[in-house]
Structures are given as C-alpha cells and as structure tokens.
C-alpha cells in the first residue's frame, strides 16, 4: 500500500479493514505509525508527528534516517527487523531524542501488519518522559521529607484517613516509649488519653478528612506505653484526596464513627508535635474555674485580686488553691504555677496566661 492509498483509506471513509481504526488512532494521545520493511513511513498519527515537532503530512513518505539521529535510526531499524523476523508483537521501552535535544522515553508495542501482500511494521507508544520525570521528582521530595522528618527532632506521624499510623519519626516513637515498628499500624485514638477536649479534636479531624479545612492547630493529651500523660500541641495537615466516601473503612482516630460520604476526602493527615509538657501520671480533670484561677495566679494576681476578678469569696479562692496544690503536687504558689506549665495546663506561648486547651488565642479557658 502506498502512502496516498493509505491516507485516502484512513481519512476519507473509503471501505477498508483499517479505515475506522486509522480515523480513531489518528486523534488518539498515543503515538502510532506504520512503516514498510525499508523504513519508510506509510502512516503516522498526530501524536507521533508531535514527537518530532511536526505534522503527519511531513512524516508520511519519509524514512527513519530523515527524522532520527543516526544512532537512534539504527536502533529503530534493528527493532523493525526483529519484528519482521519474528512475526510476533514485542513490547518494550523506547529511548529517543526529543526535538529540543532532551532525552525521551516511550513505552508501547511494535507488531507486524500485512498490507497488499507486504509485511509492514506498526507501532503504538505512550510517551512516559514527563511521567518518569515527575516520578523522580516525587521520589526526591519523599526522600527530602523523610530526611527532614528524621533530623528535625520533632515527633511527627503520617495518619491514614481512618486514623491508623502509616509512618512515624523516631522522635514520635520515643514520645510514646515504643519502637517505630510498633508505632506503625496503631490506631491514633489508642494514643490519646480521655480528656474533655476529645470531642473538639474529633470535630476538627472530621473537617480535615472531609477537606473543609486543610490545616488545624490544636492540643491533645497523649499517653505513652507506661500510662504517663502529657499535653501536646498538634499541627494537623490533610494531604491527598480520594473520591470515595470511606477509602479504608474503620473508625475515626478518636473512637467515633467515621466521617460521612463526601465527593473528595483526604487520604492522609500529617500530625506534628511542636510543644509538649512533661510526662506525668494522670490527675483529675480541672474545672474551668480552677484553670482560670491558675492563669490569674500565673499573671501575678493575689488571692484577693483573683476573688474580685472571678466574683468569688476569698474563702472560695483559698479552697480552690488548696485543692489545686493537692491535685498537682505543689506546695507553694510558685510551684503551683510551674506545675501548671510543665503539665501543659497553661499554654507555654501565651500572655496573659491562658488554658492550653483554649479554642481561641484570646480566650482564657
């Protein structure tokens, strides 16, 4: 079949075995061609011509050497002869030189076709150069992220949408007094101590997974393998997305039902601990009034000032302070303030002093 016959067959609708196929492939994103045994192009689609920075009309009728460098042309002719000799399709990865001089790579099949009593070589390829380049860049980014994670010294973990630890830094494993191997696979809610702010943490997690929010800064009480607790400042960031309502099933990380169906859900959440209190044994949860008293005490207020600010009697304030010294194991007022900070009851970076669980920076409780 000569080039004019094939072009007429593929573009005019003239009856023929490959006319409809040629019309379809001509506009396909995969690069396709047909060459005769002499290396002359009988047909090429737009995607194939684009690899050479031209159009199909400028490819048809030309020879391999007219388009490719000598070394590439020699390789392509050898592949054609292999197909003609074997008579069976061959799948392989093809390296070539792009018009801009950069290296390209394509993956596809080359196979024999029979036309007008002649055996020709057809090929169809997908250019994977950009995909491979993106893969390399992604791998480099992953390696850089891992190096940053391992050398930053910050406890951090990658959590799945259903709250399971996927990756964890050495600092995170040390925080929970377990090995990194034992930490991976754990449910996040098993690492949290019961506390009044769990409901708020759950709501914020749902916002991340449903992608209503991208980043959250909050706090939680963590519990290690020995049962010791510490309050930690958490930075949560959602990454990736999926189109299914429940990509991996299971329960939310704080032990509640999973998030409802959504058209776009986060697949993972990065959790980073930036501040943490000293490890301590569990103590009874403090009331809002007790925390407010501690914040005023840390500010330097006297018992009388505290009573006036909170509209309490002096005797009530004295009782609360006595109770707090007992709960926190602090014998003096300075020791009580110090314990409130090292146990994570008061926020370490806030002035005036305020609760570490306050929802807003200006809130006092």
The DSSP-derived string for 191-234 is: GB---TTHHHHHHHHHHHHTTS-SEEEEEEEEE-TTS-EEEEEE
Q: Is the pLDDT of residue 199 over 60?
A: yes
> What's the CA gap between 320 and 327, in Å, rounded?
10
Average pLDDT of the residues in 32-61: 91
> What's the CA gap between 113 and 120, in Å, rounded?
5
Closest CA to 173 of 189, 154, 187, 159: 154
- Check residues 138 and 108 and name the one with the higher pLDDT: 108
> What's the CA gap between 3 and 120, in Å, rounded?
13
Burial 293-329 (b: 16+ CB within 10 A, else e): bbbbbbbebebeebbeebebeeeebeebbeebbeebe
pLDDT band, residue 20 (cuts 50/70/90):
low
**8 Å CB contact between 43 and 3:** yes
C-alpha atoms less than 13 angstroms from C-alpha of 125 in its C-beta half-sphere: 27
Its sign, for the CA torsion 320, 322, 323, 328, is: positive
Average pLDDT of the residues in 337-343: 84
Give the pLDDT of residue 148. 67
> What's the CA gap between 190 and 106, in Å, rounded?
48
The two tokens of residue 132 are 């491979």
Give the pLDDT of residue 358. 60
Q: Is the pLDDT of residue 259 over 50?
A: no
- Find tokens 């806030």 and name the residue: 350
> What's the CA gap between 359 and 365, in Å, rounded?
8
Give the pLDDT of residue 340. 85
Specify which of 15-19, 160-164, 194-198 reaches the highest per-range mean pLDDT. Answer: 160-164
Q: Is the pLDDT of residue 245 over 50?
A: no
Q: What is the pTM of this model?
A: 0.51
Give the pLDDT of residue 208. 92
pLDDT band, residue 255 (cuts 50/70/90):
very low
- Cα–Cα distances in Å, from 310 out to 148, 182, 204, 304, 319? 47, 47, 31, 10, 14
In this structure, what DSSP letter does residue 352 have?
Answer: S
Q: Is the pLDDT of residue 5 over 50?
A: no
Parallel/antiparallel/unpaired status of strands 31-35 and 215-223: unpaired
Which domains does the chain carry? 3-127 (3.30.450.20), 132-276 (3.30.450.20), 284-365 (1.10.10.10)
**8 Å CB contact between 290 and 320:** yes
- Cα–Cα distances in Å, from 224 out to 46, 161, 194, 323? 62, 22, 13, 27
> What's the CA gap between 102 and 62, in Å, rounded?
23
Give the pLDDT of residue 241. 61
Give the pLDDT of residue 194. 82
**8 Å CB contact between 262 and 210:** yes
- Find tokens 């990658």 and name the residue: 158
> What's the CA gap between 266 and 215, in Å, rounded?
12
- Check residues 91 and 97 and name the one with the higher pLDDT: 91
In the chain, which residue ranges form alpha helices assigned H by DSSP?
3-11, 19-26, 46-51, 64-67, 70-86, 129-152, 170-175, 180-183, 198-209, 288-299, 303-310, 314-328, 333-342
């Amino acid at each position: 079949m000569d080039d004019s016959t094939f072009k007429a067959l593929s573009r005019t609708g003239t009856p023929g075995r490959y006319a409809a196929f040629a019309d379809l492939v001509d506009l396909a994103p995969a690069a396709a061609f047909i060459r005769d045994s002499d290396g002359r192009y009988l047909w090429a689609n737009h995607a194939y011509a684009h690899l050479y920075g031209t159009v199909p009309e400028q490819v048809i009728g030309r020879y391999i050497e007219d388009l490719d460098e000598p070394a590439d042309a020699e390789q392509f002719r050898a592949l054609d002869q292999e197909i003609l000799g074997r008579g069976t399709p061959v799948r392989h990865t093809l390296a070539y030189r792009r018009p801009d001089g950069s290296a390209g790579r394509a993956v596809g099949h080359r196979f024999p076709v029979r036309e007008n009593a002649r055996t020709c070589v057809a090929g169809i390829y997908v250019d994977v150069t950009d995909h491979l380049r993106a893969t390399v860049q992604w791998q480099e980014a992953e390696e850089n992220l891992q190096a940053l994670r391992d050398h930053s010294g910050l406890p951090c973990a990658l959590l799945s949408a259903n709250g399971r630890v996927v990756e964890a830094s050495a600092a995170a494993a040390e925080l929970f007094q377990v090995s990194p191997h034992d930490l991976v696979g754990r449910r996040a809610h098993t690492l949290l101590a019961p506390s009044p702010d769990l409901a708020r943490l759950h709501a914020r997690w749902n916002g991340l997974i449903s992608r209503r929010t991208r980043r959250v800064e909050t706090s939680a009480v963590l519990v290690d393998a020995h049962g010791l607790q510490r309050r930690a400042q958490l930075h949560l960031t959602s990454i990736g997305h999926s189109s299914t309502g429940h990509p991996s099933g299971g329960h939310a990380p704080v032990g509640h039902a999973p998030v409802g169906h959504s058209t776009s859900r986060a697949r993972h959440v990065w959790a980073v601990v930036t501040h943490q209190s000293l490890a301590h044994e569990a103590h009874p949860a403090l009331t809002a009034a007790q925390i407010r008293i501690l914040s005023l005490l840390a500010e330097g207020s006297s018992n009388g000032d505290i009573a006036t600010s909170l509209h309490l009697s002096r005797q009530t304030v004295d009782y609360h302070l006595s109770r707090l010294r007992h709960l926190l194991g602090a014998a003096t007022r300075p020791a009580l303030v110090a314990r409130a900070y090292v146990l994570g009851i008061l926020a370490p970076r806030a002035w005036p002093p305020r609760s570490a669980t306050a929802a807003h920076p200006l809130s006092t409780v």
